[in-house]
Amino acid sequence: MSLLTATVRRGLLLFGLVVLLYPVAWIVATSLKPPAEVGQVGLWPGEFTWSNYADGWLGVHGASFGTFLVNSTVIAAGSVIGNVVSCLLTAFALSRLSFPLRRFWFAVVIGTLLLPQHVLIIPQYMLFRELDWVNTPLPLIIPKALATEAFFVFLMVQFLRALPDNYDESARIDGAGPLRLFWYVILPLSRPALVTTATLSFIWTWNDYFPQLIYLPLIGDSTVPSGLRQYAVAGGLTELGPMFAMCVLSVVPVLLFFVAFQRLLISGTTPSRIRG
């Protein structure tokens, strides 16, 4: 590779990095601006207004931003646990066990990816209303424990199919049944796929807006995305500083979660190897 080619490539990468990071820098800078400077040209604040974070934390309509964080954490944690456990068990059955119509049921699971969320929201809402689950986190958590996220089932099936069949044969020779095979062989080898599923589940659930708005309409039950909307509704264009300050805080949990598991995310779609 010539010096000119390397310089151009690095320049393009640097330009792309700046384009991607500029919105983040703009949000952080706006969260520190006084109301008079919000919306003006220029990234750097003329006067740093740290009170935006204190004012934003107080919340709106009697609900603090800490309440929104707790609600989002509960729903995100429940979704992560539900997806990790149910999708791995389903993927194990579809990839390592033999039973009638296995390929058909796998095709059915993958077929659910073609169903738009907005088509399903009405029958789901009617069902959860009959169960008296509206205004509770249950509609956002319980379905995750039933392997309804076909993407994660597909991801784990492909991961488990890449593992050599010799592991299963060796375990069966030692007298292991399906449960012991899953617990002692498949589960330890599935850590990268589990981390990928947990990370993506957390990020998608944390940033999800529409279902949380439908099932949790009360301000005290709002999550971070729907809670941030309340800032704009309540304060209009005069309270953008506190709103952007809370936007910055809402990104922190996602960033920390990603940084903590980024090493395993890289190998999340490739199988581990047994050494020995």
Domain spans of the chain?
Answer: 64-239+252-266
- Counted residue by residue, the chain has a size of 276
The fold adopted by the segment(s) 64-239+252-266 is: MetI-like fold (1.10.3720)
Closest alpha carbon to 196 in 61, 65, 74, 91 = 91
**What is the percentage of the chain residues whose pLDDT exceeds 90?**
41
Query: pLDDT, tens digit, for every residue of 174-194?
Result: 888 888 889 988 999 888 889
Say what the pLDDT of residue 267 is. Answer: 58
Band of residue 235 on the pLDDT scale cut at 50, 70, 90: low
pLDDT digits (tens, 9 = 90+) for 153-175: 999 999 999 888 888 888 888 88
**pLDDT exceeds cutoff 50 at 55:** yes
Distance CA 130, CA 144 (A): 19
**110-155 pLDDT, tens per residue?**
998 888 888 889 999 999 999 999 999 999 999 999 999 999 999 9
Instruction: Write down the pLDDT at residue 61.
Output: 80
pTM of the predicted model as reported, rounded to 2 decimal places: 0.85
Structure tokens that stand for 26 in this block:
């703009």
One-letter identity of residue 86: S
Q: How far apart are CA 250 and CA 205, in angstroms?
A: 13
